[in-house]
Amino acid sequence: MALRRFLGLKGADPGDAAGDPAGEGHPSGAPDAADRAAETATVRRIVAELSALPPAQGRFLAGFAYILSRAAHADLDISAEETHLMERYVVDYGRLPEAQAVLAVEIAKNQSRMHGGTEDYLVTREFRDVATEEQRLALLRCCYAVGAADASISAEENAEIRQIASELGLDRSRLNAVAEEFKDQLSVIQAMRRSHGGAGDGAGGNAAGGNAAG
């Protein structure tokens, strides 16, 4: 498939019209022509602004920006605060000029909004294969930070980030360790504290945080 060919990973034979004829890379079975067309559009639009980078760096950043957008868009809204933080992370991790990072993030956001349902799993799985564990943990932490940029990580964002962690091959203990850093921003914890008149981090708060994280 076009996205897999761009990432330079297994099943990336350019002569294979389907790229993944058995549908092994798609959670619901063999992808159809619309899925392949959407992936082609994603590659062309995101990679166009990263084409001057070394191929490995471009692949890494394309996946990085898309997955950040996936996490931010889980609640069907990407705030200005979330966008600004995504741009900062792409600058920091990609060592890109700000203008190029802004455009790369905007393209990734648009692709996530339009084609997220068909591409999320594929993009995240391929990022897992090109990134080290340290890089995958850094991305997970960035996803939580982006979700917390507007002071509250929604239940939808938290659930999506947990799914991202699973697709990145990160186990429950690593997920929970990162989630614990953002416990105060989880909307479920905030709601529980309001209902208890602003109670502190008692056993109930920790249990709710653990449930929300894992």
Least confident of 50-54, 80-84, 141-145, 179-183: 50-54
Distance CA 89, CA 120 (A): 20
Confidence band, pLDDT 50/70/90 cuts, at residue 41: low
Identify the top-confidence range among 16-25, 108-117, 145-154. Answer: 145-154
Burial grade of 145 (CB within 10 A; 0-12, 13-18, 19 or more): buried
The token pair at 108 is 């990734």
Distance CA 87, CA 166 (A): 24
Burial grade of 116 (CB within 10 A; 0-12, 13-18, 19 or more): middle
Q: Which of 25, 28, 32, 29 is nearest to 7 (CA)?
A: 25
Confidence band, pLDDT 50/70/90 cuts, at residue 24: very low
Q: Does the structure show a pLDDT above 70 at 6?
A: no
Between 90 and 12, the more confident residue is 90
Number of domains in the chain: 1
Give the length of the chain: 214
The pLDDT of residue 48: 64
Confidence band, pLDDT 50/70/90 cuts, at residue 64: very high
What three-state secondary structure class fits 83?
Answer: helix
Q: Taking the model in full, what pTM does it have?
A: 0.69
Confidence band, pLDDT 50/70/90 cuts, at residue 51: confident
Give percent above pLDDT 70 in the chain. Answer: 67
Measured between alpha carbons, how far apart are the two ends of the chain, in Å? 33
Average pLDDT for residues 126-134, to the nearest whole number? 93
Q: Does the structure show a pLDDT above 50 at 7?
A: no
Q: Does the structure show a pLDDT above 90 at 175?
A: yes
Burial grade of 208 (CB within 10 A; 0-12, 13-18, 19 or more): middle
Domain that holds residue 167: 2-213
Distance CA 13, CA 102 (A): 32
User: Side chain identity at 165, as an amino acid letter?
Assistant: A
Give the model confidence (pLDDT) of 131-149 as tens digits.
999 999 999 999 999 999 9
Q: Which residues contact 170 (CB under 8 A, 6 or more apart)?
A: 133, 136, 137, 140
Listed in sequence order, the DSSP H helices in 131-171 are 133-147, 155-167
Average pLDDT for residues 166-178, to the nearest whole number? 96
